[in-house]
Each structure stands twice: as C-alpha cells, then as structure tokens.
C-alpha cells in the first residue's frame, strides 16, 4: 500500500464557505426534513428572506451536524436553488470542493464514506439526544486514500 497517503478532510473540502445572500430578497430555504438518507440530492422546500443559518450554493453538500440526523444519514447535495444560492438550518455543515483538487461529486461521496461519518459521530459534543459535531473535528480528520 505504498501508494496510499494520509490527507486531512480539509485538504479536499471547503468547510462552510462564504456565500453572500441579499437580506431583502426571497431565496431558497432547505430544512432538515428536505434531506433523505439514500437520496443524493435535496431541493428547497420553500423561499424565505435571510434570517440566519447555513448559506450554500447549488452542488454544495449539506451534512447534518446533530444527532440523530447524521446517524440517520442526512447528507445530500443541494440543487434547484433559485439564483443558485440558498440558506437553511443552522444544523448543517456546508462542504464544497476545492478547485483543481476536488469537485462537488467527490465531496458528496467523501462525506458519505463511513470513515468520515463515523469520525463525526465519535466527536459529537453536548448533551445526549442533542449532540453536535464541531467544524474542527472534521477539518483535522485524517484518512489514508489514493490521490
């Protein structure tokens, strides 16, 4: 296995990248219930004016950062956003590929990989029943992969 090398998750993924959304404009809104385990894509269920929460673009991966949502497989690529931008639950991590390193599809499948999911679940903080994963735990997660 000499061709395998250890990389950090953040080597391939932008974590919660910056997205500018006009405050006075209706934009796509994605709720946790819009994500279904086994479905690669999710679409917004409504439009709202920005009121806080995770911001994202078409193609970004939404990753539930609370129990039991992550344990139930709430990880999807978002599509169908009006003007290609939207926002949603504060309980999402947003992941995006890095140009010339990874793309949206790679990031989605990386997030679905049991090694990444297990690491996030093992690093939950907070009280039982409402634990959450922190950005730092995933960003520093290391895995051996070929690249």
pLDDT of residue 116: 83
| Structural domain boundaries enclosing 92 | 5-145
pLDDT of residue 131: 44
pTM higher than the cut 0.75? yes
Q: Give the CATH number, domain containing residue 94.
A: 3.90.220.20
Confidence category of residue 8, pLDDT binned at 50, 70, 90: confident
Give residue-wise pLDDT tens across range 106-130: 999 999 988 888 888 787 665 555 5
> What are the two backbone dihedrals, phi and then psi, of residue 133, each rounded to the nearest 5 degrees?
-95, 140
Q: Tell me the torsion sign for CA atoms 85, 88, 90, 95.
A: negative
Q: What percent of the chain has pLDDT over 70?
A: 82
DSSP 60: P
Residue with tokens 């405050």, as numbered in its chain: 23
Please tell me the distance from the alpha carbon of residue 41 to that of residue 21, in angstroms, as a whole number.
Answer: 22
Confidence category of residue 142, pLDDT binned at 50, 70, 90: low
> What's the structural domain count of the chain?
1
Give residue-wise pLDDT tens across range 47-67: 999 998 999 999 999 999 887
């Amino acid at each position: 296995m000499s061709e395998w090398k250890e990389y950090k998750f953040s080597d391939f993924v932008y974590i919660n990248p910056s997205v500018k959304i006009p405050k006075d404009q209706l934009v796509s809104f994605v709720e946790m219930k819009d994500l279904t385990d086994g479905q690669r894509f999710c679409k917004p269920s409504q439009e709202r004016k920005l009121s806080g929460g995770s911001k994202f673009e078409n193609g970004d991966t939404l990753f539930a950062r609370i129990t039991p949502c992550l344990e139930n497989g709430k990880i999807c690529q978002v599509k169908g956003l009006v003007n290609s931008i939207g926002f949603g639950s504060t309980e999402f991590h947003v992941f995006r590929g890095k140009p010339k390193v990874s793309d949206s599809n790679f990031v989605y499948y990386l997030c679905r990989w049991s090694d990444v999911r297990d690491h996030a679940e093992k690093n939950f903080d907070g009280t039982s029943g409402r634990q959450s994963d922190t950005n730092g735990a995933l960003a520093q997660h290391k895995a051996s992969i070929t690249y």
